[in-house]
Chain A
Amino acid sequence: MEGIEEKVPMLKEKALEIRKEILKMLNKAGSGHTGGSLSLAELMAVLYFKYLRVNPSNPENPDRDRLVLSKGHAAPAIYAALGLKGFFDKKELDTLRKIDSILQGHPDMTKTPGVEMTTGSLGQGLSAANGMAISAKLDDRDLKVVAILGDGEVQEGQIWEAAMTASHYKLDNLVGIVDYNGLQIDGKVEDVKDPAPLAEKWRAFGWHAMEIDGHDVSEIDSALNMADREEKRPTMIVARTVKGKGVSFMENNADWHGKGPSDEELEKALKEIDAAFDVLKEGR
Chain B
Amino acid sequence: MPVTTRVTPEGPRRVWHRHTPQERLRYALGWALGVLVLALCWRLIAAQTTWLFVQDAPRQAGDLFSRMLPPRWSYAPTLLRPLWDTLNIATLGTLLALLVATPVAFMAARNTTPHPLLRAAALLIIVVSRSVHSLIWAVFLVYLVGPGVFAGVIAIALRSVGFIAKLLFEAIEEINPKPVEAVRATGGSGLQVLTYGVVPQVLPAWTGISVFRWDINIRESTFLGLVGAGGIGLQLNASVNALAWAQASVIFIAIFGLVLFSEWVSARVRGAIT
A and B part of one assembly = no
